[in-house]
Amino acid sequence: MFSFSKMQGAGNDFVVIDAIKNQFEYSLPVLSSYICNRHYGVGADGVILLYQSETEDFKMRIFNQDGTEAEMCGNGIRCLAKYIFEKGLTDKTEFSIETLAGAKKVKLELENKKVLSVKVNMGSPDIDCIKYMIEIEEKQYYVYPVSLGNPHAVCFVKDVENFDVAKVGPILENYKYFPNKTNVEFVQIVDKQNIKIRVWERGVGETNACGTGACASSMIAIKEKFIENNVTVELKGGKLKIYYEKESQEMILEGEAEFVFDGQIEMM
């Protein structure tokens, strides 16, 4: 029996577990798949585990629904930052979290000692100069590979709400150009300050949001001069703010995070 918190950021939901208190003997991929199952487990897009870090203030590991470990998650790290502060594990409003994609600095915006929003320095995206043309059933899709520690493929479309994400998403996720699979973002440019995105997440399927995907999409849109440096990203689960620091070329992600409920689960 161990305790957990169900949390969400822009509709991207997670089970957060304090692995400092809970010493697991289970296989983490198996544990994560069981917990994420929406019929037999708690139900979530991913499981986030909190650890002590030898180099930063805290350490985060995140596993997808299918049990694969992800390098980073922008919505997940905001949820974890809120969890750390509101569970009394720190009194700092700025701290760093170790991830497989490197250390990420977070800054909390508070009101009455509650976290209203979290800013995350996502670093500088690694952009491949190549733009791939992929043909699916005689239709051409142009995708831009981007890495924020985890892989993304950004694809611009005219009408994202009516786009067949469930059909095209898994094909691009598993395409030969992406040996480790990839997250896929389908992006519609609304105007210079606003974009809409639907996300096909590696190892999960379509999700309500993806923080790293929002950053990847914004970065490509900025490079292509479709949008300005600061943009509001509308996803199925809500809105995120992206700020591009031109001098450092770093992306700042800002958004809310919320507790859904606390609970306990016993592994059979």
* Catalytic residue annotation: 73, 210
* Alpha-carbon torsion angle 37, 39, 45, 50, nearest 10: -60
User: Cβ atoms within 10 A of the Cβ of 228, count?
Assistant: 13
Q: Is 205 exposed, middle or buried (0-12, 13-18, 19+ CB in 10 A)?
A: middle
DSSP 8-state symbol, 106: E
Q: Quick one: which of 89, 104, 96 has its CA closest to 57?
A: 96
Structure tokens at 155: 């694809």
β-bridge pairing 102-111 and 114-123: antiparallel
DSSP-based three-state secondary structure for 212? helix
